[in-house]
Structure 1
C-alpha cells in the first residue's frame, strides 16, 4: 500500500509539473497546439518504451494489429480521452497560471463519479463527500485567482469572466473528457472479456 501511495505521489508530481511547462512554453511564445501535440507524442513514446521493456516488441505488434482492426473506435476514444483532454489543459494553460489549471483539473475526481453513474456503475456513497470537498476547492481557487486578477487590472468583471471562459471552462472540459475516454475503453474491454472468456483463458495459459 505504501509503495502504491508513493508511486501515486510521484506520478502526480510529474503530471503537475507538466502544467508549469505548458505555462513556460506559453510565456516563451509557443502556441498551445504544439504544447498539446508534444504532450501526446511524449506520452506515446514513454508508454511504448515501458511496454517494450516489460513485454518485448511483440506486444507492440499485437497492439498495432488490434488498433488496425478497430481503428474507428480507438481514434474516437483517443480523441476524447487524450485529444480533447490535452487540448483543454494546454489551451487553459495559455490563458491562466499553470497552478490554477492543475487545481481545476482536480475536478476530474467529481467528473469521474458522474461518468461512472452515466455508464451504470456504482460506488461507495462516501466518495461523494470527498468529491464535494474537491469541488469546493476548485471553486475557491478560481474565484480567488479571478478576484486577484481583477484587483491587479483594476477592472471589475472582465478578468474574472475571461479567466472562467478561457481558463476554467477548457480545464473542466478536459476533466470530463479524460474519464469518458477511459471509461469507454474499460466498458468495451469488460464486455469483450464477458462475452469471450475463452480468450482470457488462452492468454493466461500462454
Structure 2
C-alpha cells in the first residue's frame, strides 16, 4: 500500500468516525427534548448531565495524561477555572436546556450550529494579537448560518415568532457563543501560564471546577420541582455518556487522525452538519415531532452549507501550516 492510498483511507476513516461522533452529539438535543416532553425541569436536565459526567470521566483519565495536572492547574488559579467553566459549561448548558422546552430537537440542533463560527466572532473580545482579526470570508459564512437559523425559527413558528420563540432563539444563540468563549478563555489562560493540558484534561478540569455551580443549580431544581424521576436521571445519564464521553472521544480521534491534512480535517469537522439531519430523523421517529417544512427546510440547507463552507475555509487557510490548522480547529473540545 503506497503512502497516497494510506492517506486516503485514513481520511475516509476519519470522516466516518466524525460522522459517528455527530450522531452521539445529536443525542444531547433529542434526549433533552425527551426530558422536556416528559415534564422534567430544565435545571435538573442541565445539572444532572455534568454531575454524572464527572465520575464517567474519571476512569478515562489515566490514559489521557492523568488527573494530577488538571488538579494542579485548578489549585493554582481556581477563580480563572471557575469563571471559564461558568461561561463555557454552566451558562452554555443551562441556556440550551431551557431552550429545549421551546420546540423540536431539530430546531435547537440547527440553531446551535451557529457555534461553528461563534468562536471566531468572539476573537476581537479576547485576543490582543493577530488572532483578533475576523476574516471577511468568516463573516460571510456567519451571515449565511445566521440566515439559516432565522429561517429555521420562523419556519417553525409559521413566519411569526412570539415572545417565547424569541426567548428560545436568544437562549440557543447565547449558548452557541458561550460554549466556545469559555473554552477559548481557558486556552488563553493556559497559554499565558505555560500549563500544558490536553483536550480531555481541559474537559475534566472544567467539569470539576463547575461542580459547585451545578450543585447550586441542582438545589434550585430540587426546590422548584422536587426529586427528579428515575427516567429523567437515565436520560441525563445518556447525554453524559453519549455527548460528554463517547462523542468527544470519537471527535478527538477523528481530528487527530488527520491533523496534518487540512482538507481532510475540514471534511471531518464538516460532519457536524449531520447533527441537524440526525436530530430531525431521531426526533420524528422517537419523539413524534413534525418534519421541518416550508422555509425551515431552506434554513436547514443554509446551515449545512455554511458549516461545509467553514470547513473549506479551515482547510484553505491552514494548508501547509500545522499551527494554523490547530488554531482554526473548532471548539468541540470543551
TM-score (norm 2): 0.50
Whole-angstrom distance in 2 between the partners of 1:46 and 1:64 = 17
Whole-angstrom distance in 1 between the partners of 2:59 and 2:139 = 37
Consecutive unaligned residues of structure 1, counting only runs of 5 or more, are 149-156, 198-206
Structure 1 residue 44 displacement after superposition: 2.9
Whole-angstrom distance in 2 between the partners of 1:103 and 1:110 = 13
Alignment-derived partner of residue 82 in structure 2: 75
Alignment-derived partner of residue 177 in structure 1: 178
Q: Tell me the SS of whatever aligns to 1:147.
A: coil
Q: Tell me the SS of whatever aligns to 1:187.
A: helix
CA contact (8 A) 1:109 1:134 kept: no
RMSD: 2.3
Structure 1 residue 123 displacement after superposition: 5.6
Q: Answer 1 or 2: which has greater helix percent.
A: 1
Alignment-derived partner of residue 58 in structure 2: 48
Deviates more, 1:85-94 or 1:62-71: 62-71
Q: Does 1:191 align with 2:192?
A: yes
Alignment-derived partner of residue 23 in structure 2: 13
Whole-angstrom distance in 1 between the partners of 2:16 and 2:87 = 29
Q: Does 1:88 align with 2:99?
A: no
Of 162, 165, 169, the residue aligned with 1:163 is 165
Structure 1 residue 35 displacement after superposition: 0.6
CA contact (8 A) 1:110 1:135 kept: no
Q: Tell me the SS of whatever aligns to 1:130.
A: helix
Whole-angstrom distance in 2 between the partners of 1:116 and 1:50 = 32
CA contact (8 A) 2:121 2:134 kept: no
**Aligned pairs, how many?**
182
Consecutive unaligned residues of structure 2, counting only runs of 5 or more, are 1-10, 197-334
Whole-angstrom distance in 2 between the partners of 1:87 and 1:98 = 16
Q: Give the alignment of 1:7-156 within 5 angstroms.
A: 7-55=17-65, 59-120=66-127, 121=131, 122=133, 124-147=135-158
Q: Tell me the SS of whatever aligns to 2:40.
A: coil
Say which structure, 1 or 2, has more relative contact order (CA 8 Å, 6+ apart). 2
Whole-angstrom distance in 2 between the partners of 1:47 and 1:141 = 35
Structure 1 moving runs of 4+ over 6 Å: none
TM-score (norm 1): 0.78
